[in-house]
A and B are shown apart, each in its own frame.
Chain A
Amino acid sequence: MKVHNNKAWWLVLPVFLLVAFSAVVPMMTVVNYSVQDIFDSSSRFFVGVDWFKQVLRDSRLHDSLLRQFIYSGCVLLIEIPLGIAIALTMPTKGRWASACLIVMAIPLLIPWNVVGTIWQIFGRADIGLLGWTLNALGISYNYASNTTDAWVTVLVMDVWHWTSLVALLCYSGLRAIPDVYYQAARIDRASSWAVFRYIQLPKLKSVLLIAVMLRFMDSFMIYTEPFVLTGGGPGNATTFLSQTLTKMAVGQFDLGPAAAFSLVYFLIILLVSWLFYTAMTHSDKNS
């Protein structure tokens, strides 16, 4: 049992101040912008919720929101099962296990714009191994001009970049299962599917929760990789929410709408993360 002691606040105070400085102050600035129409520092008008109304009706935003949800959905549907499958195939101990861990962690350690660059170099039809090979096989492929190709390339890039995270999480979850469980299953002559379904999967629940949340949040905020690879194109095929927002705020300097949009964006992430969290912890209680 933890001791009740309010003096512990002194220990969390530095974190509180630091995060308040770098989160609350900017957040308040955003809120401030979202309710004002600003021409310059001296002329600004209070406009109430007008920007929110405008943003919620903006068809550009609807489109990129839809694209974003489809994209994040695909990311989760591919990466979570694939990550579990990879974790199950990994060696359990020894030199090979460490080697696998290190190799699999490499994509996670590459700066995000370099990930974009790698796939740009790899996928280009003229100088890239992938693009060149596909075209040589008779499959017409050009991520810079064909929307489907661009979209699929961004998705494959994300799978390349982040599946390892899911696999590493699951790997550490699997290592935490005591051997007795497997021995009992062997005595019961359980099939390997049954072992997976009734022993491994339930034990993976807590790490899978972390994996789903992290992958959802990060794929929902994705900016750098598609920006470097496709620049959001061709057309708007790979323009996701962050990019729409940055275009609005930094490109066109529409501070009010951009701020209103920021708040809506943040709320969506909070809401969906909360839904995932309650859904997964709730099903835990039922079983």
Chain B
Amino acid sequence: MLRKRVVLVLYILFLLVPIYWLVNMSFKSNTEILGSLTLWPSSFTLDNYRVIFTDPSWYQAYLNSLYYVSLNTLISLSVALPAAYAFSRYRFLGDKHLFFWLLTNRMAPPAVFLLPFFQLYSSIGLFDTHIAVALAHCLFNVPLAVWILEGFMSGVPKEIDETAYIDGYSFPKFFVKIFIPLIGSGIGVTAFFCFMFSWVELLLARTLTSVDAKPIVAVMTRTVSASGIDWGVLAAAGVLTILPGMLVIWFVRNHVAKGFALGRV
């Protein structure tokens, strides 16, 4: 029992120490960072955060990221919900092939799609818009959403559907009024995963934007300038990108393990 505790505590320390170092550094001035190694900021400063919150190119990028991530979550969920229902309840022509084909998109390296995406979205005039990034991220988020939701929906007994139809519910009414509330936690978890994978992705988001929709993760590369890297601001921006994830995980904390198992346990 004690040995188990030790292993767990060591692992959690291993996870937290690098993050502690990032947070620590975000409260230091650059002179202190480069001057000496201190485990605690000796002259505590919020200047690094002030830079981010007063410079529009910083906080605008932060809002851009939040905007396309929310848009992506919304699109993924609204198309995946009916599809997942179809996969969990019906057999239809080509269903297995379609499901497998959806999953293969999860296996496509984003690097493969860089250039075609760039040309596709440029040619339809969507380059450097939030919707372009949101649509591009659907490539891997929609299959994932269908997969997770299908797992959760298969856990709901079919008798509920049948009873509702006998009671005279139409499909849309049944779906919205009865079925969606039943898989509420599944939808929450799916939204969380869409949010997460869209939030952490850099390669596509960076390629499809230049100014107006530039995400925070791309702006962060800007801290490298002629005078060297602005470590303090870089660390502060890093801390700020961790926060949204920690906020959303709080809401799904009881279901997150089931979600990681794609609703299949």
Contact = CB atoms under 8 A, between A and B. Distances in A.
Interface of A: 2-9, 11-12, 14-16, 18-19, 21-23, 25-27, 29-30, 85-86, 88-90, 98, 100-114, 117-119, 121-122, 126-130, 132, 160, 163-165, 168-169, 171-173, 175-176, 206-207, 210, 217, 220-221, 223-224, 241-243, 245-246, 249-250, 255, 258, 262, 265-266, 269-270, 273
Contacts of B186: none
B234 A117 contact: yes
The 8 tightest CB contacts between A and B, nearest first, are A109-B245, A26-B116, A172-B257, A11-B86, A8-B90, A29-B116, A8-B86, A11-B82
Interface in B153-200: 196, 199-200
A228 B102 CA distance: 30
A12 B86 contact: yes
A265 B257 contact: no
Contacts of A27: 108, 116
Contacts of B95: 8
Given A19-B142, A255-B115, A118 B120 contact: no
A98 B19 CA distance: 20
Interface string B230-261: 01001100100110011011100110111011
A127 B203 CA distance: 28
A86 B242 contact: no
A108 B196 contact: yes
Contacts of B136: 22
A31 B89 CA distance: 36
A132 B114 CA distance: 38
B254 A98 contact: yes
Given A207-B261, A269-B107, A111 B18 contact: no
A11 B83 contact: yes
B143 A25 contact: no
B226 interface: no
Interface residues of B, number: 90
Contacts of B63: none
A121 B104 CA distance: 35
Contacts of A30: 112-113, 116
B105 interface: yes
A16 B142 CA distance: 10
Given A15-B146, A246-B111, A110 B242 contact: yes
Nearest to A246: B111
Given A100-B8, A110-B242, A255-B115, A245 B109 contact: yes
A246 to B, nearest CB: 5
B58 interface: no
Contacts of B4: 88-89
Contacts of B46: none
B261 A173 contact: yes
Contact of B22 (A18, A103, A118): A118
B107 A128 contact: no
Given A8-B89, A121-B22, A169-B261, A112 B120 contact: no
Nearest to B220: A113
B159 to A, nearest CB: 13
A171 B254 CA distance: 12
B120 A3 contact: no
B235 to A, nearest CB: 6
B85 interface: yes
B135 A109 contact: no
Contacts of B264: 206-207, 210
Given A5-B92, A26-B120, A12 B242 contact: no
A111 B217 contact: yes
5 contacts: A11-B86, A14-B83, A29-B116, A249-B111, A249-B114
Contacts of A101: 253, 256-257
Contacts of A11: 82-83, 85-86
Contacts of B116: 25-27, 29-30
B258 A172 contact: yes
A7 B89 CA distance: 12
B222 interface: no
A224 B95 CA distance: 35
